[in-house]
């Protein structure tokens, strides 16, 4: 008698396990089936079957599959193939991918069968109404209807409504939800009694209207040309990079291409950076695609996510979904097009927890292997994508003019050192900055000011002894908030009263140093007492409703000046903005990261791109102490090519991506000594098996967070080396390290392609 076994993926950081399938399940189980399996002494998990076979596993105790959780598969073959590739590439387990992909309600776990049973998600049930089977022809139906008149008017009306709802084509086969009929319960019951109607119950399918283009615009000649180029580029490339300057109307092209895919019956996935900040864009897509647009983001309830997942997995295509990075894991059948809007944005990469995947890179893989098209769009493409386009791996389409009358803003670099020397600085604003703001206010247009620090000041310092307030739990200074005279840690949330006297020398009075958004807000209120000023940063965004209100007020012109952090650089389209100010470009440049210059360029160009999007001529002022810095000059000229040329040359000579691949290993422990020695030992062991490319163990710029100390090792894989080999050597070494007597309490994690 042959036995049947199933390899089952569990939503845990372990490899698939093998279970026996009892005979009564044989005809029901398949690859992709969700099953309940026992693990440990008394725990049941939901798993997904990834393989069925007859090879008896070498386990002492072979356990059996409990039950099938849902009759439909939880994941299809395409999805399983994607999960396997992701686990391999990102050096995690398929279980971790499953954990990220499945909504929580679809992967119940429990201590007993009964409890598990209770937790299995089911869609609500609904009663369906159809014609009684005895009525098979129009004649029979008419006879039955005639029988109702003249006395049973309510029943007659209910029948007419029913026939109308169901339509002539479906009259004898179709059914409609009882709740969709206006007739009361007793009336329907009477009709069932009278042999005209029949009912049955079924699972309620979450219902969405189908998506179709309901609103479109006429494209400009430049847009038309770019659209044509994208189309023809897709004939030779699975991935195309659309490099279009800010406000060139890329979104309109995405809408067109999405519509074409929908018409072919294909599904479309539109990925964008953090949804909360891009509500404007979602509103535009809603206007274009109506209620059929599916919006998938972290703010949804567990039930809504689950229903969406089921609905999408049942659909055969023609869906359009907009979402952030995790939407890449949705079960979209017949996927034709993935759009990655603002593809350079780092929020497409998940850094913590595992799986540490890049939704953009996964989209590119899917295009190459699963037959869809991926369109990457940006005004400031990542150097990786640009490099791939230049090497011919991606198609490349350039859209170099703004839509309509808009032209790119003029940019002035304002030298903060010179300006201070001339005594022209007022608070933190140079004369050029103030003049520009004055001009904007006078003509009734709006102003956006960008400062990459929140709070009042990034730190306080004692003028006598140099003491500064640091977080007791993290390796950073405490941010000073004037409101409430508080010091707060932006990493762990630790908060304390700001001291009046220096706690170190007991003499000096610590003073705020540097400036954050709160301080700029205060200064602007002093300088422009009649202007309406608002702020948008991490502190405001902690309340989504407050954030929405700030954005809506600025959009409608209720506020004149918006001060914000990185958040205000992302994708906003405000017609009234004429002046944009970057208050301190230097702290962008000074980040300890090989991408600092690329990011500085992207931030300045993106924020500058918020100005002059309609009739107002835009003007951008960039304050910096390094007016000769080539990246700042390139950004001021919107010269992407020059920046790319320069940075790619540096990356090549110093061996950074896209010329190499990086794998970052992070070690964490609450003892700094333990993590230090552990990291050094691990680096040594890695070097024994990987002779080239293993860095020294080093502490990151923030050496500890919430009392956990961190060390890192970077492994650099050059293009000539097979990354899969190096990755498996790393995994093997880490596995041994985890068994080490001294170091096994150190937590390690691996990040492939860290951003
Ligand atoms: P991008 O995404 O390239 O920054 P957008 O797609 O946001 O640019 O377009 C910039 C502005 O121009 C938006 O307000 C948009 O509504 C408008 N626009 C772009 N193309 C058209 C068009 N074909 N017809 C009407 N308005 C357009
Ligand atoms: Zn002091
Ligand atoms: Zn802290």
In order, the DSSP letters of 366-383 are HHHHHS-EEEEEESS--H
Q: Which is the closest atom of ligand 1 to the Cα of 404?
A: 12
324 lines ligand 1 (CB under 6 A): no
Residue whose CA is closest, atom 14 of ligand 1? 573
220 lines ligand 1 (CB under 6 A): yes
380 lines ligand 1 (CB under 6 A): no
- Please tell me the predicted confidence (pLDDT) of residue 332: 95
469 C-alpha vs ligand 2 centroid, how far in Å?
10
Task: Please report which ligand is nearest the Cα atom of 243.
Answer: 1
**Is 264 part of any domain?**
yes
Domain boundary (89, 119, 149) is at 119
Are 545 and 624 found together in one domain?
A: yes
Domain boundary (334, 369, 399) is at 399
280 lines ligand 1 (CB under 6 A): no
Domain boundary (593, 627, 650) is at 650
- Please tell me the predicted confidence (pLDDT) of residue 297: 81
- Please tell me the predicted confidence (pLDDT) of residue 234: 98
Are 624 and 729 found together in one domain?
A: no
Q: What is the distance between the alpha carbons of residues 44 and 38, in angstroms, rounded to a whole number?
A: 4
Count Cα atoms within 13 angstroms, Cβ side, for 617.
Answer: 4
Task: Please report which ligand is nearest the Cα atom of 284.
Answer: 1
Confidence check: pLDDT of 583 > 80: yes
Q: How far is CA 27 from CA 48, 328, 513, 542, in A?
A: 16, 32, 71, 51
For 295-356, give the secondary structure using H, E and C.
EECCCCCHHHHHHHHHHHHHCCCCCEEEECHHHHHCCCCCEEEEEEECCCCHHHECCCCCCC
Q: What is the distance between the alpha carbons of residues 127 and 135, in angstroms, rounded to a whole number?
A: 20
Are 310 and 166 found together in one domain?
A: no
481 C-alpha vs ligand 3 centroid, how far in Å?
15
N-to-C CA span, the chain: 54
Average pLDDT over residues 19-36: 94
Are 31 and 113 found together in one domain?
A: yes
569 lines ligand 1 (CB under 6 A): no
521 C-alpha vs ligand 1 centroid, how far in Å?
31
Q: Is residue 380 within 8 Å of residue 606, measured between CB atoms? A: yes
Q: Provide the residue range defining the domain that includes 743.
A: 660-752
Are 620 and 717 found together in one domain?
A: no
Considering only CA atoms, give the Rg of the chain.
30
pTM: 0.89
Ranges 135-149, 385-399, 698-712: which has the least confidence: 135-149
466 C-alpha vs ligand 2 centroid, how far in Å?
6
Are 589 and 737 found together in one domain?
A: no
Q: Is residue 334 within 8 Å of residue 368, measured between CB atoms? A: no
Average pLDDT over residues 467-480: 95
**Is 464 part of any domain?**
no
Are 228 and 348 found together in one domain?
A: yes
**Is 487 part of any domain?**
no
Are 393 and 269 found together in one domain?
A: yes
Are 102 and 181 found together in one domain?
A: no
- Please tell me the predicted confidence (pLDDT) of residue 209: 62
Are 639 and 687 found together in one domain?
A: no
The CATH number linked to 600 is: 3.40.50.300
Q: What is the distance between the alpha carbons of residues 51 and 156, in angstroms, rounded to a whole number?
A: 55
The CATH number linked to 65 is: 3.40.1440.60
- Please tell me the predicted confidence (pLDDT) of residue 207: 61
Q: What is the distance between the alpha carbons of residues 656 and 429, in angstroms, rounded to a whole number?
A: 37
- Per the listing, tokens 């932006």 go with 490
- Please tell me the predicted confidence (pLDDT) of residue 591: 85
- Please tell me the predicted confidence (pLDDT) of residue 277: 66
The CATH number linked to 720 is: 3.30.70.260
- List, for residues 212-243, the tens digit of each pLDDT value: 787 778 999 999 999 999 999 999 999 999 99
Percent above pLDDT 70 for the chain: 98
Query: For the chain, what is the domain count?
Result: 5
Confidence of residue 275 (pLDDT cuts 50, 70, 90): low
Average pLDDT over residues 296-302: 85
683 C-alpha vs ligand 3 centroid, how far in Å?
28
Q: Which is the closest atom of ligand 1 to the Cα of 217?
A: 24
Q: What is the distance between the alpha carbons of residues 550 and 554, in angstroms, rounded to a whole number?
A: 6
Task: Please report which ligand is nearest the Cα atom of 706.
Answer: 3
Task: Please report which ligand is nearest the Cα atom of 702.
Answer: 3
Confidence check: pLDDT of 681 > 80: yes
What average pLDDT does the structure give for the chain? 92
CA nearest 572: which of 545, 616, 606? Answer: 606
Query: What torsion do the CA atoms of 698, 700, 705, 708 make, to the nearest 10 degrees?
Result: -10
Give residues with Cβ within 8 angstroms of 153, minimum separation 6: none
CB atoms within 10 A of CB 644: 19
**Is 479 part of any domain?**
no
Are 520 and 610 found together in one domain?
A: yes
For 515-577, give the secondary structure using H, E and C.
CCHHHHHHHHHHHCCCCCEEEECHHHHCCHHHHHHHHHHHHCCCCCEEEECHHHHCCCCCCCE
**Is 461 part of any domain?**
no
Confidence of residue 689 (pLDDT cuts 50, 70, 90): very high
- Please tell me the predicted confidence (pLDDT) of residue 500: 94
99 C-alpha vs ligand 3 centroid, how far in Å?
29
251 lines ligand 1 (CB under 6 A): yes
Count Cα atoms within 13 angstroms, Cβ side, for 254.
Answer: 32
**Is 502 part of any domain?**
no
**Is 475 part of any domain?**
no
Average pLDDT over residues 477-504: 94
Q: What is the distance between the alpha carbons of residues 715 and 663, in angstroms, rounded to a whole number?
A: 5
Region of residue 676 (left: phi > 0; alpha: psi -120 to 50; beta: else): alpha
36 lines ligand 1 (CB under 6 A): no
**Is 462 part of any domain?**
no
Confidence of residue 276 (pLDDT cuts 50, 70, 90): low
403 lines ligand 1 (CB under 6 A): yes
Best mutation site among 225, 251, 282 for ligand 1 pocket (most ligand atoms within 8 Å of CB):
251
| Beta bridge partners of residue 268, listed in sequence order | 320, 337
- List, for residues 643-652, the tens digit of each pLDDT value: 999 999 999 9
Are 569 and 451 found together in one domain?
A: yes
672 C-alpha vs ligand 3 centroid, how far in Å?
16
Task: Please report which ligand is nearest the Cα atom of 470.
Answer: 3
- List, for residues 359-407, the tens digit of each pLDDT value: 999 999 999 999 999 999 999 999 999 999 999 999 999 999 988 877 7
């Amino acid at each position: 008698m042959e036995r049947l076994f199933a390899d089952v993926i569990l939503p845990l950081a372990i490899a698939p396990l093998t279970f026996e399938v009892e005979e009564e399940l044989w005809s029901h189980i398949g690859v992709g089936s969700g099953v309940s399996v026992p693990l440990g002494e008394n725990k049941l998990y939901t798993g997904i079957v990834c393989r069925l076979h007859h090879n008896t596993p070498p386990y002492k105790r072979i356990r059996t599959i409990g039950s099938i959780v849902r009759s439909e598969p939880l994941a299809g073959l395409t999805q399983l193939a994607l999960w396997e590739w992701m686990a391999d590439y990102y050096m995690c387990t398929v279980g971790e991918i499953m954990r990220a992909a499945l909504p929580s309600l679809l992967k119940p776990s429990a201590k007993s069968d009964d409890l598990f049973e209770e937790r299995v998600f089911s869609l609500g049930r609904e009663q369906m109404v159809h014609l009684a089977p005895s009525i098979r022809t129009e004649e029979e139906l008419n006879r039955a209807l005639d029988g109702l008149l003249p006395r049973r008017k309510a029943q007659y009306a209910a029948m007419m409504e029913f026939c109308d709802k169901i339509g002539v084509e479906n009259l004898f086969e179709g059914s409609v939800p009882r709740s969709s009929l206006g007739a009361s319960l007793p009336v329907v019951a009477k009709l069932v009694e009278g042999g005209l109607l029949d009912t049955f119950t079924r699972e309620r399918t979450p219902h969405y209207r189908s998506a179709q283009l309901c609103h479109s615009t006429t494209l400009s000649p430049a847009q038309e040309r770019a659209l044509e180029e994208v189309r023809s580029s897709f004939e030779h490339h699975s991935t195309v990079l659309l490099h279009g300057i800010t406000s060139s109307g890329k979104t309109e092209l995405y809408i067109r291409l999405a519509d074409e895919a929908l018409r072919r019956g294909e599904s479309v996935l539109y990925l964008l950076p953090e949804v909360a900040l891009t509500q404007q864009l979602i509103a535009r897509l809603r206007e274009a695609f109506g209620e059929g647009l599916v919006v998938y983001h972290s703010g949804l309830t567990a039930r809504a996510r689950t229903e969406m997942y089921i609905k999408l997995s049942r659909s055969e295509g023609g869906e359009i979904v907009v979402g952030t990075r995790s939407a890449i894991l949705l079960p979209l059948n017949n996927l034709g097009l993935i759009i990655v809007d603002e593809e350079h944005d780092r929020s497409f990469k998940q850094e913590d927890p595992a799986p540490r995947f890049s939704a953009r890179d996964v989209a590119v893989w899917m295009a190459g292997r699963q037959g869809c098209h991926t369109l990457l769009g940006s005004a400031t493409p990542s150097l990786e994508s640009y490099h791939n386009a230049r090497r011919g791996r991606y198609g490349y389409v350039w859209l170099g003019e703004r839509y309509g009358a808009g032209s790119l803003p003029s940019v002035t670099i304002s030298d903060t050192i010179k300006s201070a020397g001339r005594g022209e600085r007022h608070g933190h604003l140079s004369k050029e900055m103030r003049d520009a703001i004055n001009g904007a206010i006078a003509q009734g247009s709006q102003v956006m000011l960008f400062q990459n620090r929140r709070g009042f000041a990034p730190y306080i310092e004692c003028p006598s002894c140099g003491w500064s307030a640091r977080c007791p739990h993290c390796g950073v200074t405490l941010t000073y908030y004037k409101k409430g005279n508080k010091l707060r840690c932006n990493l762990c949330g630790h908060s304390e009263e700001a001291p009046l006297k220096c706690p170190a020398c007991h003499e000096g009075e610590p003073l705020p140093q540097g400036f954050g958004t709160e301080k700029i807000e205060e200064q602007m209120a002093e300088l422009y007492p009649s202007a309406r000023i608002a702020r948008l940063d991490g502190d405001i965004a902690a309340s989504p409703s407050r954030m929405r209100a700030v954005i809506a007020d600025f959009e409608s012109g209720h506020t004149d000046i918006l001060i914000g952090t990185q958040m205000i650089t992302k994708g906003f389209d405000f017609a009234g903005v004429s002046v944009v100010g970057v208050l301190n470009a230097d702290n962008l440049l000074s980040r300890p990261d090989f991408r600092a210059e690329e990011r500085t360029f992207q931030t300045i160009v993106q924020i500058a791109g918020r100005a002059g999007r309609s009739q107002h001529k835009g003007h951008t002022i960039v304050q910096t102490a390094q007016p000769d810095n080539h990246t700042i000059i390139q950004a001021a000229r919107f010269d992407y090519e020059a920046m790319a040329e320069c940075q790619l040359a540096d990356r090549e000579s110093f061996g950074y991506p896209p010329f190499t691949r990086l794998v970052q290993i992070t070690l964490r422990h609450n003892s700094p000594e333990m993590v230090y020695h552990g990291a050094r030992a691990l680096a040594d062991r890695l070097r024994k098996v990987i002779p080239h490319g293993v860095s020294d163990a080093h502490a990151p710029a923030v050496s500890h967070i919430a009392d956990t100390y961190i060390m890192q090792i970077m492994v650099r894989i050059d293009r000539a080396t097979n990354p899969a080999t190096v990755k498996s050597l790393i995994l093997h070494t880490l596995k041994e390290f985890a068994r080490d007597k001294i170091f096994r309490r150190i937590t390690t994690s691996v990040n492939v392609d860290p951003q």
